[in-house]
Amino acid sequence: MAQATQLRSIDTPESAAQRIFLLQKTAYRKQPFPPFNERIKNLNKLEKMLLDNTDNITAAIAADFGHRSAIETKLLEIFGNLSAIRDARKHLKKWMKPQKRRTSIMFVTGKNLLIPQPKGIIGIGTPWNYPLYLSMGPIICALAAGNRCMVKLAANSQNLCNLLQKLCAETFGEDTVAYLPGVSGSEFTSLPFDHIVYTGSAESGKTVMKSAAENLCPVTLELGGKSPVVVCDDYDLEEAARRLLYTKYMNAGQTCVAPDYLFLPEDKVDTFVEYARRVVTERYPDTNNEDYTSVIDTRSFKRLRDTLDDAIAKGASAINLTGNDFNEELRKFPPHIVVNPTSDMVIMQEEVFGPILPVMSYRSIDEALTYINDRDRPLALYVFTDDEAIQEKVLYETMSGGVTINHCAFHVFQHDIPFGGVGASGIGHYHGYEGFLELSKLRPVFTFPKVGKPDLFYPPYSKFHSRLFTVLNKLKL
C-alpha cells in the first residue's frame, strides 16, 4: 500500500499569517457553503469599499509608484473591478445552480448533478504593476464562489497593502478577506491553502508551484511573457499605431499584456516610426507630466536603461519618440522604439516590461508566425487585419493565452471570456464564470435509482456475469 503523503498543517500559529489562516479555516468550517444572499452581501460590501475609498486607493498606488496617472488607476484598476463585481452579481444565481447531467443508460432512472462548492481558503499573490486590479479580480471570483481570501502584495506596493489591510478588516473582518503587509513569499506560499492564484514572472511562478506542491495545492498562474503584435498590409497603419501604442505606453509599459514586440510589413517600418512620433508626442508632450507613469523603482529603471544600451551596442537603432530626457529622479523613462533588433539582444530574450517597443519587419505572414511559434507561448497575441482569412490563419496556427484582433489587451476586460496564460505564460484562468469555476470544486453527485437491481453485479461471479458482459457490450451501452 502506498504511504500517505504528509501535508503541511498549522496547529499553533507562530505568525500573523498563520493566525489569519486558522481564523479563516475555522470560519470556513462553520460555513462551508455560504448561501447566495451572503455572497451577494460580500460583493456589495466590496463595491462600496472601492467606491468610498477611490481617492485614497488612487493616492496609495501613486505613492508606491512615485507617480502613477490617476486617470489610469481609476479607469483600469478601480472601474475594472467595479464592473467585474457587477457582472458577478448579475449572474451569480445562475452560476451557483447545480447542473443536471444525463445518466448512463443503465442508470437512466437515477440522477446526476454537478454542484459548484467553495474550495475554502484562497491565497492570492499579486505583483506591483496593477496591485489593485490583479488582487481584487481573484477576490471577486473567490467571494462569488463562496471562498475566503488571503492576499500578499509585492514589497513595492506597501502603501496600498497597508490601506487595503485596514479597509478589508473594517469591511469584512480578517476571517473573510485579509491583506498581509510584510509577509514573505515563502511563508505565504507555504500555508496550506485550498488554491493559490499567483501573478508574476515565470521563474517566481515555478517557485510558487514547488511550494504549493508540498500541500498538493492547485494553482492558477498568470506569468506574462513576450506578447507579439502583427500588423498586416491591409490595415490602416496610422490607426494601428494609435491603438497599439496606447496599450504599450499606458502605465509606462509595465503591463503583463502590453505589446512586447511588433511585426510590420517590410516597407512600412519607416512610416510607422513617423506615425509613432506624432502619436506619442501628442499624448505625452512632456513625459514628466501627470499622464505618464513612473517606472516602479531604481532597479527597474536601470534594467531598462541597460536593455536599451545593449540593443544599441549590438547594432539596433533606438528612437526616443518624444525627445525628452531620462529623468532618473522621478524615474520617467521616455517612450522608445528599437528598430531591427536581433535575437542576441536582451530586449528579444526577456519580457521588456517598460516603455520600449522592438519593431521587426516581415516579408510574409508565415515568416512572422514562424518566429512567434519558435518561442515560448505568450500571454497575449495581437493581429491587425480586416482580412478574415488572415485572422483565422493567425488564430489557428499560433497559441497564446488570449487574443485581441485590431487592438491590444482589450480581451482582458471582457467578463464573459476567461483570462489566463498557456505554457510558459501561465496555467489556468479566471474572470467571470470561468473564474467562479476555477475557485469552485465541481462536485459530482450520483443518486442511485429507486428501481434497479444492483446485485446483478455483485459476486460470487458465474457464467451469468460472463454472458452479461457480452450482452452489454453488444448493446453498445
Instruction: List the catalytic residues.
Output: 222, 256
Consecutive H or E run containing 57: helix 54-65
Query: What's the rounded Cα separation, in Å, for the pair 405 and 3?
Result: 51
Residue 438: which of 142, 216, 136 has the closest Cα? 142
Query: What's the rounded Cα separation, in Å, for the pair 50 and 321?
Result: 36
CA Rg value for the chain:
26
8 Cβ contact list (under 8 Å, min separation 6): 190, 191, 192, 214, 215
Residue 287: which of 251, 244, 331, 334 has the closest Cα? 334
Angle made by CA atoms 373, 377, 378, in degrees to the nearest 5: 115
Consecutive H or E run containing 141: helix 133-144
Q: Which three cell numbers stand for residue 241?
A: 499605431
Residue 386 backbone dihedrals phi, psi, to 5 degrees? -100, 0
Residue with cell 508551484: 209
Residue with cell 467578463: 415
- Cβ–Cβ contacts within 10 Å for residue 343, how many? 9
